[in-house]
Structure 1
């Protein structure tokens, strides 16, 4: 890249290491991305209490004041500076507790007039700084095994990958549902199998070219669905070889099936693909407007539950947009509401959507871009001095913070200010040294 040619490299022969300014800026860009993931759409200046129960926001638990309460990002800065804060990442439908009855000795500085409690808030062990089924802190000083932590989309607790009951964790999942929540909301097993079959069908279809014939329409108990048609298909009551180039007939009120595998009789089970396979059970849609067509007579969940579900004692991993495949018939919507999980059919509830909103609020120019612009305006000597200064600061800061880690002390704002004051004093001494030398 052209930008890389602007950055010099500083070598350290004793450690055989080489660091460039571009490396530094890229590291800063990664830190910015991590901050966006955590802070996302949160407000850093104002307490979120007046906004009520926020659909999703970054939260912190103050272990110094109360280990069973949550405060918003702004309050963590303004009202709990220097306290022992536990980062909770994000939680849904939560209202800031700062200054209410859970904090009898601390009033909120940003919004002091709050009710005594937030009745709709829910709390789990994360607010006490504990995570996973092992109920350990993170990072755990006694755990020598390196393991990633994954958040359950239902209970929002965090779990070690090795404690989820899965032999292998896929690398392309977007959301995870823990073992406990799969037992609690066991209807999800039907969708889990449905999702796996859908992926296989979509994968097979994407790898094969399909000819498109003339368009036609077929009625199925009053419902109309637009299909790509070429030749008629034999009755579903017999065995037949079905091609993706030809349509599938109505099957006792169900929609058409398109598959490359032999189709079974509607009155029997198939060894490969059941008669009510993924295309049959796909929710009806109005192609012209893109809106969902909801019908009291069509329940995707009931159709899926007719099959035998393989329930396991493990977590499940879901790909992007899996929520859009959940049934939204009136009966299922009532079920979601009664069980307090209406968020499951809301795509804006996902952490991915939350992070996207945060990125959209960011300024177009990142620290990485600003750094490259500043770097390109310097000559090579200045570039070397800047990277050398950064390395010196990084080394001295690591040494300075090491004593806090050894003593188990919390780093406060005044400690950081003291560090940079010392850095500035040493810088002035170094700048004055040549002048003193020549004066002699």
Structure 2
């Protein structure tokens, strides 16, 4: 049996614990269904009827499922264990965390776009982790359900970019503004739906402090369309010149507040748009997060175990004996750690054999 020094062993264990906490920082012990509609991390489960589930349920209830991470969605209630959840559980519980035996009523506020099928962007493609494409989420999302867009689709270009993922590089499509020049993105679908209001914002004196870039979106045309009817393709392209995306500056929320305050709240439609329909653009809604997992100490674990098993006098005696053993073991291992000497299995056995005698 190969040995390891006490200091090396402790260091390795700490590294493993730190890595685990980075990958799974929150304690997945509670479903968010009973908390109602939240801005939260949502995962699409394609095995249970393309429902959306919370962080905890994605880990505890859907470990064997086809899961797609959707990142954050506003005003979403977990579907796990509701009537939308089509899969029968082997345990008899609809949700393993709520432990409900009857299906709960699903939220009527949830909106389901193609993201819940695992598809993203206007090109309806699945996320490709090996692609060098940059993807942006629409911060407004009232028309697109907070969809994610490829940079080349935003500007209406073909993908055709050099892959550079292995080098850790991101190559922006031609026509895309540098990522460090804006803070948020609003897609052309949401802009077109509420074009009146965005024209008002763009014509306002504060627009220069709100909008960093206005990028036209040109819909892609198939090769067949270009080859068979060049004139029709050109005409269609001209019709789409009015569609555009907006890229917002770092301080856009504060500036939108100032713009709203300058409007007549009783008679101006733009005021109602900002105040009632898109208030999250003026004040960002925090993302709900489960409490971070707190690892109990050895003392706490022993105390919990003893309290669950024996009466108070035995608990006190047990904890006292544990602390005595802990102190003696620390003293025994101290020379090993100080000198870098390897702790062998035989050394540990010798320690406990000595204590028995």
Instruction: Tell me the TM-score normalised to structure 1 length.
Output: 0.43
**C-alpha contact 1:150 1:160 (8 A) present in aligned 2:** yes
Measured in 1, the distance between the counterparts of 2:293 and 2:85 equals: 36
User: By how many angstroms is 1:188 displaced?
Assistant: 2.5
Q: For 1:58 and 1:380, how far apart are their aligned partners in 2?
A: 48
Partners in 2 of 1:195 and 1:379 — Cα distance?
Answer: 65
Quote the Cα distance in structure 2 between the aligned partners of 1:73 and 1:363. Answer: 14
Partner of 2:282: 345
1:109 corresponding residue in structure 2:
96
Instruction: Give runs of aligned pairs for residues 278-357 of structure 1, distance below 5 A.
Output: 313-326=243-256, 327-328=260-261, 329=263, 330=265, 331=268, 332-336=270-274, 340-347=277-284, 349=285, 353-354=286-287
Equivalent residue for 2:179? Answer: 171
Alignment equivalent of 2:209, drawn from 198, 207, 231: 198
Q: Which residue in 2 is equivalent to 1:159?
A: 149
Distance 1:132 1:121 in 2: 19
SS at match of 1:183: helix
Are 1:136 and 2:136 matched, yes or no?
A: no
Query: SS where residue 138 of structure 1 aligns?
Result: coil
1:305-330 CA-to-partner distances (Å, cap 9, x unmatched) read xxxxxx95332211223122221552
Compared CA separation, residues 78 and 30, structure 1 to 2 (3 A): closer
The structure in which a higher percent of residues are helix is: 2
SS of equivalent to 2:209: helix
Runs of 4+ in 1 over 6 A off after TM superposition: 28-31, 377-382
Deviation at 1:345, TM superposition (A): 2.5
Contact in 2 for aligned 1:58/1:90 (Cα 8 Å): yes
Change beyond 3 A, Cα 1:109–1:196: same
CA RMSD, aligned part only?
4.1
SS at 2:244 equivalent: coil
Q: Taking structure 2 as the reference length, what is the TM-score of the superposition?
A: 0.52
Offset of residue 105 of structure 1: 3.4
Aligned mates of 2:103, 2:271 — CA distance in 1: 33
* Residue number in structure 2 paired with 1:53: 37
Query: Is 1:62 aligned with 2:71?
Result: no
Matches within 5 A, 1:41-440: 44-54=28-38, 56-67=39-50, 69-106=51-88, 107-111=94-98, 112=100, 115-139=104-128, 146-155=132-141, 156-165=146-155, 167-172=175-180, 173-186=182-195, 187-192=197-202, 197-198=208-209, 313-326=243-256, 327-328=260-261, 329=263, 330=265, 331=268, 332-336=270-274, 340-347=277-284, 349=285, 353-354=286-287
| Cα distance, 1:379–1:101 mapped onto 2, change above 3 Å | same
More displaced 10-residue stretch of structure 1: 314-323 or 155-164: 314-323
Q: Structure 1 residues 82, 313: closer, same or farther in 2, change over 3 A?
A: same
- Cα distance in 1 for partners of 2:278, 2:193 equals 12
**Aligned pairs, number:** 224
The SS at the match of 1:102 is coil
| 8 A contact 1:151–1:176 mirrored in 2 | yes
Distance change >3 Å, CA 82–CA 30, structure 1 → 2:
closer
In the alignment, is the contact (CA less than 8 A) between 2:188 and 2:246 conserved in 1? yes
Which sections of structure 2, spanning at least 5 residues, go unmatched?
1-10, 89-93, 156-173, 212-240, 296-335, 346-357
Distance 1:29 1:189 in 2: 48
